[in-house]
Amino acid sequence: MKIIPAIDIQNGSCVRLVKGDFNQSTTYNNSPYNQAKFFFENGFNHIHIIDLDGTQVGEKINADIASKIANDLGLKVQFGGGIREIHDIDRLLNNGISKVIVGTIIFKDKDSLQSLKNNFDQNQIIYALDFKKVEDIYCVCTHGWQEETNIDICDFIGKQEFKNILATDIDKDGLLEGPNIDVYTNILQISDSINLIASGGISSLTDIDNLKKINIKETIVGKAIYENKISLKDLKAC
């Protein structure tokens, strides 16, 4: 299992939200750079960075911080948040970012998704399909989790070809109540060629073991680290 520690940046600090609610924000470190260095010193070479400020305004606010972390520390950084234009992706990749996470831009217009597939090495693109339960459907949300669509996440994945998918259960995120195993199982049944990255709700080594059992190869861990629910030593051993 590849464990990727998370750094969410809001107002220049490392924070965690609850269920994607920007009004429920807890600050854990005033320096994203120092937090990344801490992860690096504990044996992690791959970091997940989300620009929360960028998701709100639709611009890359904290991209320079992410690039500095990547270039100074030699870390592989996957970065997302506020990426609304194709040229933003080029700039990020040219400035040290290893993988770019795209979400809202997928649904910008009917040609956006195909443009992303045609113009970039798919090993460098992660398609973020953040979802929440609306009535009986797990619907994709966009614009920093704030806008619900009527797009069923599994139906959408079934109609496309993706290499890397980051699926975050918004209703689980920040609650430390365990990941949505049922949705992840359904996604993996659609295609065995998808690299599914699980995110949201992970609180224990048991949660990680449960993800392993359904053949998840990568997962993002955030609040469980910051709240000392799982040690970095134990995560490194996964």
- Provide the annotated active-site residues: 8, 130
- Which of helix, strand or coil describes residue 151? strand
- Which of helix, strand or coil describes residue 69? helix
What residues pair up with 148 in beta bridges, in sequence order?
Answer: 141
- Pairing relation of β-strands 125-128 and 21-29? unpaired
Note the residue count of the chain.
238
Virtual torsion, Cα 88, 48, 208, 43, nearest 10 deg: 140
**DSSP tag of 85:** S
CB atoms within 10 A of CB 137: 15
What CA–CA distance (Å, rounded) separates 49 from 63? Answer: 9
What CA–CA distance (Å, rounded) separates 21 from 231? Answer: 26
What residues pair up with 15 in beta bridges, in sequence order?
Answer: 8, 27
Q: What are the backbone dihedrals phi and psi of residue 207, each rounded to the nearest 5 degrees, phi first? A: -60, -45
- The single-letter code of the amino acid at 233 is K
